[in-house]
Amino acid sequence: MNEFIAPIIDSLNNLLYGSVLIYLLVGGGIFFTVRTRFFQFRRFGLAIKIMMGSRVTADKSQISPFQAFCTSLAARIGTGNMAGVAVAIYLGGAGAIFWMWVIALLGMATSLAENVLAQIYKTNNGDGTFRGGPAYYIEKALGQRWLGITFSVALIIAFGFAFNSVQANSIAAAFSGYGIEPAVVGIALAVGSALIIFGGIRSVSKVAELIVPVMALGYLTTAIIVVLMNITELPAVFSLIFRSAFGFESAAGGAIGAAVVNGVKRGLFSNEAGMGSSPNAAAAAHSTHPVNQGLMGILGVFLDTMVVCTATAAIILMSGMHESGLTGIELTQAALSSQVGSWGGHLVALAILLFAFTSIIANYYYGESNLRFINDSKGVLITYRIAVLAMVVWGSTGSLPTVWSFADVSMGIMALINMVAICVLSNIVIQVLKDYDEQLDNGMTPIFNRSKFPFLNKTMDKNVWQEHNNGSTTDSESIDVKPAFIAD
């Protein structure tokens, strides 16, 4: 059976990732960068300011923008930030890092758009929290529930089950050198995860808020130490990156083509911009304007690729181990150990534990939000939680090449659906951004008033964004924005 299915899955992956998705995601990044007038650069400083000031809300039962931001980072920052970057350098040379940077800068605009839509079309859980994401805005704004369900099923398969198995497998592999049996690791992970996921989004966001800043800062500090130890080599490393990026330095896969393809792939599938995953966390936040959480999306992509992935690249390139023939996590471990001694390997193992564990709980929540979109039943939700924990245990002991390939197909379907949806809904994004810009330019703190947008007012849930809705608007204030395919 596996011999029959595997070639089909591989063919689908080659089609999706070899052409369709790269063009769609890169093109989407350029499209939103231009249409938003380079919003990710114009408002980058504001994004940092809002992130720093959004740790608490007036109501303690609500999910703060910072907590939602950390939840999205928990899913974004995983073992791929260490192993995946090493593979990109191995196959594409140092120049792959340059193209990772390029795709991240473009992807920041895509993440802005999908997070804004997730906030607009979120659903009120009735307990002070919200949920939402692509499935929700596909149904409400486009009127295509079947397509939203298709997206949700793909996400549950990819994030709820497959990726969590892979994350558990990575943790078990990292600790196998310490004589700990994979089954023991899997059971421990399942128990730890259960203590969090049965508490829902509140528990997930609180744990993410505690762990994510610590793990990211710790890893970044390690990279800075390596750079300072080799500070005289810094100009040569930058020179290597740029020469390799434009084909003036050889790479295993063949000059500039290898650098571009591997850098773009690593960037796209590390920061997840356009994939439709991070909006599920963004929708949970209690905010005063949808664009505030869109700004968090910009920062999420920046921190994932420009900071964490770059930190891994610095460790590898500064060490000179990129020419050792090693790849994957072994390359990252060897590079760090060569710089700081044997404890570098222990540090990588700890980083894998933290990165992968937080990914498990955040991935779980993405699946929960989409399961509730399909069927908001307590019994179904409990069954899903048990299934996730079972997959964590199984993943720690199994061999997962087919599972990983199947997950790639599911995530490809997600990205395909989401990118088409946000492009069709781009008019809404642009008008809401314009409203935000105008309030800022007038010296105001941006507040979202749904009554200013008749189409949104009709298609949004009735019990969201009511705090600042005055219930009336003049014709001059009205912004009758609609998706691109709806005629006036």
Write out pLDDT tens, residues 341-378: 777 778 878 888 888 888 888 899 999 999 999 998 88
Q: What's the confidence (pLDDT) of residue 487?
A: 47
Q: Confidence band (pLDDT; 50, 70, 90) for 115?
A: very high
CATH number at residue 296: 1.20.1740.10
Which DSSP category does 130 fall into?
E
Say which residues have a Cβ less than 8 Å from residue 212's Cβ, sequence separation at least 6.
Answer: 70, 73, 74, 77, 358
Average pLDDT over every residue of 145-153: 95
Q: Both tokens of residue 353?
A: 């534990």
Least trusted range by pLDDT, from 53-57, 167-171, 300-304: 53-57
Q: What's the confidence (pLDDT) of residue 475?
A: 42
Q: What's the confidence (pLDDT) of residue 30?
A: 95
Beta strands 130-131 and 123-124, pairing class? antiparallel
Per residue in 179-227, pLDDT (tens digit) is 888 888 889 999 998 999 888 888 888 888 888 888 888 888 888 888 8
Do 384 and 160 form a contact (C-beta atoms < 8 A)?
A: yes
460 domain residue, yes or no:
no
Do 289 and 116 form a contact (C-beta atoms < 8 A)?
A: no
In angstroms, the CA 198 to CA 210 distance is: 18
Average pLDDT over every residue of 292-315: 90
Do 104 and 306 form a contact (C-beta atoms < 8 A)?
A: yes
**How many other C-beta atoms lie within 10 A of the C-beta of residue 386?**
12
Identify the residue whose tokens are 């930058």: 238
418 domain residue, yes or no:
yes
365 domain residue, yes or no:
yes
Per-residue buried b or exposed e for 106-115, using 16+ beta carbons within 10 Å of the residue's own CB: bbbbbbbbbb
Domains: count for the chain: 1
Per-residue buried b or exposed e for 122-149, using 16+ beta carbons within 10 Å of the residue's own CB: bbbeeeebbbbbbbbbbbbbbebeebbb
Q: What's the confidence (pLDDT) of residue 417?
A: 94
In angstroms, the CA 66 to CA 293 distance is: 9
Q: What's the confidence (pLDDT) of residue 44?
A: 94
242 domain residue, yes or no:
yes
Q: In the predicted model, what is the mean pLDDT of the chain?
A: 84
Query: 9-18, 36-45, 322-331, 401-410: which has the highest mean pLDDT?
Result: 36-45
180 domain residue, yes or no:
yes
Burial of 42 (0-12, 13-18, 19+ CB in 10 A): exposed
Query: 116-130, 397-411, 454-468: which has the highest mean pLDDT?
Result: 116-130
> Which range of residues forms the domain containing residue 407?
2-440
Q: Both tokens of residue 295?
A: 């700004």
Q: What's the confidence (pLDDT) of residue 1?
A: 43
451 domain residue, yes or no:
no
Determine what percent of the chain is predicted with pLDDT higher than 90.
31
Which of 1, 77, 114, 86 lies closest to 361, judged by CA? 77
DSSP alpha helix (H) spans, 320-464: 328-340, 343-374, 378-397, 401-424, 426-441, 454-459
Task: Return the ∠ at Cα 103 (arms to 113 and 292), rounded to 5°.
Answer: 30
Least trusted range by pLDDT, from 87-101, 243-257, 309-323: 243-257
Do 130 and 123 form a contact (C-beta atoms < 8 A)?
A: yes
Distances from the Cα of 166 to the Cα of 15, 124, 171, 406, angstroms: 23, 32, 9, 12
Query: 8-22, 73-87, 251-265: which has the highest mean pLDDT?
Result: 73-87
Q: Both tokens of residue 47?
A: 């994004």
Q: Confidence band (pLDDT; 50, 70, 90) for 420?
A: very high
Which amino acid is it at 435? D
In angstroms, the CA 433 to CA 120 distance is: 12
